Amino acid sequence: MPPTEAERLRVLRERAILDTPPDPTFDGIVQLASHLCDTPVALVSLVDEDRQWFKARLNFPQCQTDLDRSVCRFVVTTADLLVIPDLTADPRTRANPLVTHDPHIRFYAGAPLITASGHVLGALCVIDDVPRPEGLSPGQTAGLRALAQQTVEAIELRRALRDH
């Protein structure tokens, strides 16, 4: 049975990572994701009750957005890698203000940040300002998934150090 949204939010808050200062570990992860997937933007996005907050961001102006601007929220509900080759053509995202207005994002790929208990905290995502009909290569897909797992491990290590 999948976890409830209330359980997911409880697990996210137990990590005490929301609204924390920048961290070189997470900054390095988004740099690697951007390089691997050849995208200008990469984010570690944590999906809270009414917002998504970015623990790390590369070339994205905001440190958080409302959920109506979130593409990562779809990763949280599916708990699987999500690739949207053209955000203007997908019914879930074509009216998103980040698609229709600045920064006019067009391509999205997000790997879920799944804890050992099966709770999805958010996504490690890469974004481009041009559509990508081909999506990601198999190597990019595997790499993005691996970096998402490393992100979760960094979150859990941070929690363990705090609790110790």
Mean pLDDT (the chain) is: 95
- Where are the strands (E) in the chain, listed by range? 41-47, 51-58, 64-66, 82-84, 107-114, 120-128
**pLDDT at residue 1, rounded to an integer:** 46
Strand 41-47 to 107-114 pairing? unpaired
pLDDT (0 to 100) of residue 49: 94
Q: What is the pLDDT of residue 76?
A: 94
Instruction: Write down the pLDDT at residue 2.
Output: 57
Query: Residue 37: what residue type?
Result: C
- pLDDT of res. 163: 83
pLDDT at 162: 83
User: Looking at residue 104, what DSSP letter applies?
Assistant: -
pLDDT 10s digits, 31-82: 999 999 999 999 999 999 999 999 999 999 889 999 999 999 999 999 899 9
As a whole number of angstroms, the distance between CA 65 and CA 100 comes to: 15
**Position of tokens 């958010």?**
122
| Res 3: pLDDT | 65
The answer to whether 121 touches 113, Cβ cutoff 8 Å, is yes
